[in-house]
Structure 1
């Protein structure tokens, strides 16, 4: 199976099939573990229906709307007040997020590989339970697609970037990493090694800064959801992704790889690997970024890409075993 992208119709069909798969399979029942985020959304959905918009008390001001993630709650409230069934609301959100990410990846990696690689516990859990994060990242992927197509479409790109932040504040970090990746791609450096070292260095620096400041920053925003120490992954869980980032970095110097997707992937893999080893949960950033990380595979040599894909699939098979048991 070739690694490159297919014709335009195939990414659409693969995204459609994957989205239907995500919303058709009862993943929560399969795992036997409840989704706390979904339960929380259901409570708020019912509360809005009973008490109206007054249920959400948000002070005026851009920062207050940002910290309250106003667009998400506007979507939640408007859907509830319109009489839309909650289960249908969840289905529409899950399908939309899964479709956007799959279509984006399938347009850059062969649709067959994209489909197989996205059938993994991390992505399934993201699309079926972490709706807000998945939808916000979908808006970022929309923005990136417009941003890469010239000045006339950048207005749309910036609009999607801003909207994503008002759905989930973690998109501020994602957009910052994207900006650094674009800078590394476009800036003239003496060698690929210089770009690579900068990419790794920024990843480590961001991880250290996040570990030191995340509690203070998210506390100021009234949001400590992602900093529960019990959510930090073990080295056995996170080690694979850290090794993947290191491996891609080493091999990239062989063929002078210079692409923003590569820099983004290395930055995220190093950042999440270091923060998780420091017991500061950040894995959701990696989970959202999987489409971009996997889109790096067609950029590297075919024999390297096949080895990486085999390694990823083996890792995912192990995850599935523990995921359902």
Structure 2
């Protein structure tokens, strides 16, 4: 993932201008601090799925933001868990550690006014990489008295080293210009890696699975989404211009299957309808989506199944 070319070695005609900058930046944090919402706001496109529940992000997602000044390659990571007992959680933690080892800069995202053991564990993991670290305090719009954050930040930065501190609201898109400018200034002079119109390196097949999973996260009972995943069995463009997508929703038990399907199939139909509409907007064409629900006991703790479902480092 790292570009092996150094800025000094790039011919001038490869750069849009002499000070064009490009590099990989990890958006890292514990679960549910708003990393995916922040990524979407920074690239100006709804790429990462979002829900109110932790562990919504399970894969590294690359979001590309290109401007006249440079190209920032944001890596949205899963939340880092402490005491991960299940294979799924261990896989997510490996994905986080792998991602932060391959970037030039890390933005540690925390929730305004909170610093937990998981935040501390991530800080220690970032410190091991010896890369510049920015502190991004998200959800500041939820703080009625923002001056109350100052002692919290003073104590935090007195014990932890960050190159700079940014107060943002990803949801309200506040504080993002200053954050973007700071990131760009710290990246190397380098030619862009991707075209100016590209927003991710992920395939439509991957994004389709994520959009189905997002609806599962939003619509199902509180504990159930963690026992579900989505596998795309078929994705093809038909001669009539329709994208035909067949997806399997995997659960761990028969009782969970019944919940996903719902009475008379109503829940599954609602999940499919909403996911299809999101796909049509993102893929800019009509979509025919078919969903099945299947049971595989213990898949969350099965390393081979996790790899089959795309949970890799």
TM-score after normalising by structure 1: 0.28
Query: Which of 1 and 2 has greater Rg?
Result: 2
Higher helix residue share: 1
Structure with more relative contact order (C-alpha pairs < 8 Å, separation 6 or more):
1
TM-score after normalising by structure 2: 0.28
